[in-house]
Structure 1
C-alpha cells in the first residue's frame, strides 16, 4: 500500500480544504487551532484584518507567515490567510513523514510531491477553464501555487479571470496573487493582462513565475510549469492527475 493516496475534504466555516496525501491524518483540529489564533489576533488587533502591512506581533507560525507575506506584497496579512493555512497544514504533514501531499484551500495550494502531477486551471468564463493544466515536476520541498481572480472563492479587486503565482511558499504566492491581480485593470483584456504582469515585475525576487488570464488572453512572466491540455472538468486545486 506504499503508493496509496488518501483524499479528504475538510470544511470549517470559510476554510475549505481539499487534501491528497500519502499519510492518513485528520487535520481538523489543527485547522481549528490556526483559525482560532487568527480570529483572536483580529479581536485584539483589528489592524491585522486591514489592507496594510502590520508588524510581527507574535511567535505563532501562522501569524508570522501572514505578516511577512503581507509585508512583501504591501497588503494586509489577511491577503495570505488561505495560502498560509495550506502551508501550515503541509508543514505538519511533512513533519509526520509525508513525501506526497497536496493541500488546496479555496484555490490556494501548498504541495510536496515525489512524482509528477497535473493541476487544472479554472479561469471563470475564459475558454482556458477546464482545458489547460500545469504539469508539476516532483517537488521534494514545499511549494506554493495560488490564484486570485474576479471569479471563484479567492476574490480580487482587479478584473483578471485568474492571476496565478508560483513560489516556494504558498503564503507568499497567495499574497502576491492578490496584490498582482488587483492591478489587472484596463479597458480591454490585453490591457488587463499587461497591467497585472507589469506590476508583477516589482516582486520578481519573491516568485518563480506568474500567469495571468483574461478572456482569451494568457500571459506570463518568469518560469511557470509546463502547460498541458486537460480533459477533466476541474479547476486549480481540484485536478490532481498523478503520473
Structure 2
C-alpha cells in the first residue's frame, strides 16, 4: 500500500463544496489516495497539510497491514494502548459508539490534520473530509446540512459559537455518499468535542434509523439512541421532509 498524492480532479465531484464560504480564509484542497480534504485557514497551509495527511495515512496503513480487522470490522475492537494516538482514538470512538473503528476514520483524519495545523501556528482552521468537519475558529459560524434529495437540504444549519470550539461536526447518510450505512436517513449530523467521536456516533445513529423503516419512527429511534452517548453535544436527523434534533443544538433557517 503506497501513499500517492494526486490531482483533485481525479476524484469524485463534491458539489456541496461550492456553497462553502471561507470568510476571507485561504482555501486549500489536499488529495492523497482516498483522502480528499477541503481546508480553510488564515494562511497557506497546503505543504504542511499534505505532510500531515501522508503521516497519518502511513500510520493507518501500517496498522491495517498488521491488523486487517481494523479495516473490515463492523463491531468495536479492543483498545491497543501501544498504537499511535490516531489509531487509539478511532478504536475508542468505535467502542463508545458500538461500531467498527473505520467508522471514525474521516473524522479522525480531519481532526488530526486540523490540530496539526493549529500546532504549526494556524489560528483559524476548517478541515472538511467527506462531510466531516473539524472547526477551530475564533468567531461564530454556521454549518449548513446537506441532506441529499431531502427538501430540507441546505435549508437548515447549525450555528456554533466560538466559545464551543474546537469541535467536530460530522454527517452520515444512508442515501448519499460512499460511506457504509444501514439506515435510510438522508442525514444524521452529530456535534461533539471530538470529530472522531462525532463521526462514529453519526454512523451508529444512521444505522438506528433502520433500512426501510425511516420516517418519524426512524428519526425518533435515532434521537432516543443519541441519549446514550454523553460525549456528543447534539444531533440533527433528517429523513425526507422529517427533521428531529436533540441536545445542545442551535438550528437556523438558511
Superposition TM-score, scaled by structure 2 size: 0.84
> How much has 1:56 moved relative to structure 2?
2.8
Sort the Cα spacing of 1:76 and 1:188 in 2 relative to 1 into closer, same or farther, 3 A: closer
Candidates 175, 186, 191, aligned match of 2:200: 175
Residues 1:64 and 2:88 aligned together: yes
- State the 4+ residue runs in structure 1 displaced beyond 6 angstroms: none
1:1-243 aligned at under 5 Å gives the runs 4-26=24-46, 27-49=49-71, 50-57=73-80, 58-139=82-163, 141-150=165-174, 151-185=176-210, 187-203=213-229, 205-229=230-254
CA contact (8 A) 1:52 1:76 kept: yes
Tell me, what secondary structure is at the counterpart of 2:179? coil
> How much has 1:4 moved relative to structure 2?
5.0
Measured against aligned partners, the alpha-carbon deviations of 1:194-224 in whole angstroms (never above 9, x if no partner) come to 1211221221x11110110001100011111
> How much has 1:97 moved relative to structure 2?
2.3
Sort the Cα spacing of 1:103 and 1:219 in 2 relative to 1 into closer, same or farther, 3 A: same
> How much has 1:103 moved relative to structure 2?
0.5
CA contact (8 A) 2:173 2:181 kept: yes
Aligned CA RMSD, in angstroms, stands at 1.7
Correspondence for 1:236: none
Measured against aligned partners, the alpha-carbon deviations of 1:120-169 in whole angstroms (never above 9, x if no partner) come to 11101101112222222214742010010011243411110000110101
Higher relative contact order structure (alpha carbons within 8 Å, sequence separation ≥ 6) = 1
Superposition TM-score, scaled by structure 1 size: 0.87
In 2, Cα distance between the equivalents of 1:194 and 1:140?
Answer: 26
Aligned length: 226
In 1, Cα distance between the equivalents of 2:104 and 2:139?
Answer: 27
Q: Which runs of 5+ in 1 are unaligned?
A: 230-243
Q: Which moved more, 1:94-103 or 1:208-217?
A: 94-103
CA contact (8 A) 1:16 1:105 kept: yes
Tell me, what secondary structure is at the counterpart of 2:189? strand
